[in-house]
Chains A and B, each alone.
Chain A
């Protein structure tokens, strides 16, 4: 067994070329343990990404091996809570990829405008910046009143933050620039009030939003919607899971519904490619075909 010394860098970590076979075994066992104990299934996430997060947690906890970490994950609920935050990457922004939002305004909004009632699912919404971004666009296009948004994530703590709509004022400089570049019609500051270094977004933006706990890996369809927004989530999944979740989106979409993925994500090479037409290739905006090919 390794000694109990604390490690500061990856480099000092116990793992090297000689024992990386054990690392792989431990990783598999850990993911299985988490699934059995807590029902969160990470087994089809990008393995490299998981490894980075897990080794990072190992490093800052002063533990030597993943087996030791597994012990803590199983026996120490608080530790598991922290660890779960490591595995769910919550990095997000308002109007992230402004060009995408600009295309969304230009190509999707005019069609949504023809619907009497609009239902939208934002999956993997994280702390909600994306939800308020979309709500602002809908508001400016006079669609917010007839829209129902389901904003979901499998991480309950980010959903709490999303519900409150309170963010760090420091971020607003970037967000304002993004908003502007995305075709925003006013000033972002029109939509929030500032207090002590924080900003609070207008409650009316979220009046038709339901924030809900939903796990894309284990939960099914819960509503038929006209638009699925799932950006920068699939990137953390392996091909098999990406394909499965794209199937879930396809099922959730009404005919001629829209699917918006992250800039580096795509429907290409999945089983569902043929059920969609491409609205904007660069910005990953797709439309479900009326007739399904399967």
Chain B
């Protein structure tokens, strides 16, 4: 029984994440928690457009916010996003990890601790290696992992690094990731 999906992306991530969220059917009710590297830029207009185009409530995660169904949470710029416990998220301003804040590894690791084998981790396009360690930890805690096929990624370093560090559960073309997520949650 999958309880959450975590997604990480960097360079090329705006489009890749948009694609996946729009492909998922509105009845998909598992919370989705996302770290997208965006520097200090605000993502409000991006979130509003996703909110309109996808079937979900898309928002920036707030401090100690309760995790709800049918909701997509993005890490706010310049804060790490953590899964605090099964029911809530938390933010942190501590040091950058992999030169990034928010860092994908922080989200993935804290999600793995909490959701263990009830988690799907998805790592997408990017030109650094944040998230590779996270994918490995999600696997270690029994979760399912999907890495975007580097051939279909604008930034190949991020998926490549994850594939090099551990053997992800699935390596999937961008086009087919939403479907893979659905398939893995069908087993619920």
Contacts and interface: CB of A to CB of B under 8 A. Distances in A.
Interface in B81-110: 82-85, 90-95, 106, 109-110
A47 B85 contact: yes
B94 A264 contact: no
A242 B85 CA distance: 17
Interface string A239-282: 10010000000000000000000101110000000000000000
Interface in B125-148: 133, 136-137, 140-142
A91 B94 contact: yes
A17 B117 contact: yes
A17 B94 CA distance: 26
A155 B62 CA distance: 27
A111 B157 CA distance: 53
A265 B63 contact: yes
A8 to B, nearest CB: 11
B116 A17 contact: yes
Interface stretch (A48-56, A102-110, A164-172): A48-56
Contacts of B83: 48
B113 interface: yes
B38 to A, nearest CB: 16
Describe B's contact surface by its main secondary structure.
mixed
A9 interface: yes
Given A49-B82, A236-B92, A264-B63, A20 B116 contact: yes
Interface in A1-41: 9-11, 16-17, 20
A86 to B, nearest CB: 10
B142 A10 contact: no
A20 B137 CA distance: 13
B63 A91 contact: no
Interface in A204-250: 232, 235-236, 238-239, 242
Interface residues of A, number: 25
Contacts of B116: 17, 20
A46 interface: yes
Interface of A: 9-11, 16-17, 20, 46-49, 51-53, 89, 91, 232, 235-236, 238-239, 242, 262, 264-266
Interface of B: 62-64, 76, 79, 82-85, 90-95, 106, 109-110, 113-114, 116-117, 133, 136-137, 140-142, 166
14 contacts: A10-B137, A11-B166, A17-B142, A20-B116, A46-B90, A48-B82, A48-B85, A48-B114, A49-B90, A49-B94, A52-B110, A264-B63, A264-B91, A266-B63
